[in-house]
Structure 1
Amino acid sequence: MPVTASDPAAPSPAPRRLRWTVRLRLTLLYGALFLVSGAALLIITYVLVATRDPQIIRKTTPGPAPWLPHDTDRLPDVGGEQRKAMLKQLLTQSGIALALMSAVSVALGWLMAGRALRPVRTMADKARRISERNLHERLAVGGPDDELKDLGDTFDGLLGRLDTAFTTQRRFVANASHELRTPLTLQRAMIEVALADPAANAESLRTVCERLLATGERQEHLIAALLTLARSQRGLQRREDTDLAAIAEAVLAEQAAQVRIDLSLAPAPTVGDPRLLESLVTNLVDNAVRHNVPGGWARVCTGVRDGRPVLRVTNSGPVIPHERVEALFQPFQRFETRAGSPDGHGLGMSIVAAVAEAHSAPVTARPGAEGGLDITVTFGPAARALEGAGGE
């Protein structure tokens, strides 16, 4: 619509401010350095020429000449005015040359700064095009092995870690959705079958309800595990002095004795979140008991090794290949044997890894000598807890 007299005047565009880019600053720096060095050279040259002895030494024959003054060793500089004019001309011409070369140095500095910063512009353009949909792309900075290439390689490493994190998150969401949808589908199928059966009686409906309750309990365990995993990945929200031995003893008191459990619980004071540490011990013990063999055993040890509290859980069980151990700490990863898929949701060991990472405690896992796993969690030294234990 055309603008009329009654329409408010369109706001005038704001004047574009000068952007002090790195290229502009480098150019001004190059020009200023050349100007200062050129001016210093001009001053030194002028001082050397101006302080030169203006007297002319003349060698004459022995004896005074009748046409010269008696003092013939040193004659006054009769060209003083000419010398001053030459110095002035030298200063003027040198100043003009310095100004011209300063302008040339600024232009060359602008070109060279742009050439030096070209990889930065290339990296910036590529980085703008990278999003969560194409994290697989890399900057791939070429050229000499200098600071700019190090910057590009560092950014490529960051993109690689982000790509891995996004891929893991998508896989986790897909697996969680599948794990949550499967019980719901099963419940719906059982209800539809029960309702479609015209001969259904109270006993059959009771059986269906019991199966629904079992499926619902499985969902509750899965949701509780997901919440625990999320809370563990969020990091520590509280820190308290605690003892791994006391936590392990409390967890084992509630554990059903399905296998033989050997205990070696020495004091292991540390600082952390007691609820998360309890979840870590519970999942380790549950994994050792659940994934075992008939008549098997499990061993839980706590103590201090090299000044660091340590929790170690070993168990018998099926033989696990060494290359499969690391994958067990990923969400929804289960080790399947010939007897079929084991129970559980595949979240126990991922919860252990998340809790250990929140406490900055490295986890070492390797196949056991008699099958199963040998897992060691080494916590950081707790100065306050150790001092308190030593003072008792």
Structure 2
Amino acid sequence: MRTLTIRVRTALAFAVASMVLTTAVLVFVNLASQQSFARTLPVLGRDGGPATRIPSAVPITPERIGASQTTLRVVTEANALQWQWSAVGIVVAGMLAGGVGWFVSRRMLRPIDRITATATRITASNLHERIALVGPDDELRRLSRTVDDLLDRLETAFESQRRFVAQASHELRTPLAVQRAAVQIGLHDDVGGDDVRAVRDELLEQNRRTEHLVESLLVLAEADRGLDGTTQVVHVDDVTAEVVVGAARNAADAGVALTHEARTGPPGLVVDAEPTLLRQLLGNLVGNAVEYNEPGGFVRVTTSSDGIVVENSGPAVPVDEAPRLVEPFRRCPSARSAGRHSGLGLSIVASVVQAHGWSLSVDARAAGGLVVRVGVSPVQPRRDAGRNS
């Protein structure tokens, strides 16, 4: 069943309301006029006595009217015409009110038509267009601003997705090209055993890098998808200690001093989080701090009631470049191992932080390296809640 448009419904509402009000007014006027006329019309007495006034409750009959038949016909005809013209007036008033309602609704809904046309016209290729409605600051203009704000967020998301797809394609194509070149050049017809082993090692390294990149993309997609009620009470101090212990060997091999300091009183830093994503966040922060460091450097991990701080030495990072390192595949040009990582470490950290509603800041140290702060929302653990499994 087809629903009437707002414009038609507004016109009908105007018409019906006008007809109802006009009918009520005219019926009241006609009945009041008849009653007033009945009170002032002289009539003969019952026995031919002097003329009197008809009480309002007594009906007017020809026998009681002290006037000629002509006067009676005039009064009756006037009464009938009064009702007929009242009916015509009601219909005309309804039509005029319907027309006014149509005109007013058309003027009032014109911005809605513009908003609809613009929203229908906008696609992924012209997300830069905006409604930009002008006029008084009313409900329709506020609706227009809300839609424009939504389009701003969509444009930002689409641009980020385009950059991500382009960068991911480039990152995935690079190891594949290296593998193809290694096979074509390294495995020539008279290849020896040493060449085969070198090609094997190169293929394994590129395969490892591709696998790590794909895993990072999956984690990033999982973090962007949201938590969906998968959170639980997690003791951050315990998870941080486990991550630091797991990264101790790599830190020792790189000549980097890795330490963890818990500045929280009992029961420690406890948050409501998704355990796997939290462990991935800490692992990426510690792993990046160890990897992008220098021999003899340090990585200091601190947990406090405010959150987590990972500070590391390393190459100098431009102050304006540090906050942009959370973008996918963004690497610091001065990092010596920029080619070994996927460039998604801090991007995953940012997505995990956003999914949990926490805060993240990445700042450059004056002496080189970074300071990454993750502000969390501590919770009070339940008495029956155990430690992290």
Where does structure 1 lack aligned partners over 5 or more consecutive residues? 1-16, 57-68
Indicate the residue corresponding to 2:58 in structure 1. Answer: none
Distance 1:252 1:360, change over 3 A: same
Distance change (3 Å), C-alpha of 1:342 and 1:203: closer
The letter of the residue matching 2:8 is L
CA displacement at 1:47 relative to structure 2: 5.0
Contact kept in structure 1, 2:291 and 2:337, CA below 8 Å: no
In 2, the alpha carbon distance for the partners of 1:377 and 1:387 equals: 26
**In the alignment, which residue of structure 2 is the partner of 1:280?**
281
Is 1:297 aligned with 2:298? yes
Matched, 1:32 2:16: yes
Letter in 1 for 2:114: T
Alignment of 1:1-392 (within 5 A): 18-52=2-36, 86=78, 88-196=80-188, 198=190, 200-236=191-227, 238-255=230-247, 256-257=250-251, 258-265=255-262, 266=264, 267-305=268-306, 310-337=307-334, 341=338, 343-368=340-365, 370-383=367-380, 385=381, 388=384
Q: 1:343 to 1:196 in 2, by over 3 A?
A: closer
For residues 92 and 292 of structure 1, the distance between their equivalents in structure 2, rounded to whole angstroms, comes to: 98
In 2, distance between residues paired with 1:144 and 1:138?
Answer: 18
Deviation of 1:235 after TM superposition, in Å, equals 1.8
Q: CA RMSD in A?
A: 3.1
Cα distance, 1:32–1:369 mapped onto 2, change above 3 Å: farther
Letter in 2 for 1:140: A
Question: Displacement of 1:322 after TM fit?
Answer: 3.8
Per-residue Cα deviation, 1:156-203 (whole angstroms, up to 9, x for no partner): 2222222221221121111111111111111211221123374x3212
Name the aligned partner's letter for residue 212 of structure 1. L
Report how far residue 50 of structure 1 moved.
4.3
SS in 2 for 1:149: helix
Gapped regions of structure 2 (runs ≥ 5): 41-47, 55-64
Query: Using the alignment, how far apart are the partners of 2:164 and 2:283 within structure 1?
Result: 22
C-alpha distance 95-298 of structure 1, shift in aligned 2 (>3 A): same
Question: Residue type of the partner of 2:225?
Answer: R
Specify the code of the residue in structure 1 equivalent to 2:187. L
TM-score of the pair, normalised by structure 1: 0.80
Identity of paired residues, percent? 34
Q: Provide closer, same or farther for how the CA distance between residues 71 and 317 of structure 1 changes in structure 2, counting only shifts above 3 A.
A: farther
| Count of aligned pairs between the two proteins | 357
Sort the Cα spacing of 1:18 and 1:242 in 2 relative to 1 into closer, same or farther, 3 A.
closer
Deviation digits for residues 40-74 of structure 1 (CA, Å, limit 9, x no counterpart): 33244345534548666xxxxxxxxxxxx9999x8
What TM-score does the superposition give when structure 2 sets the normalisation length? 0.81
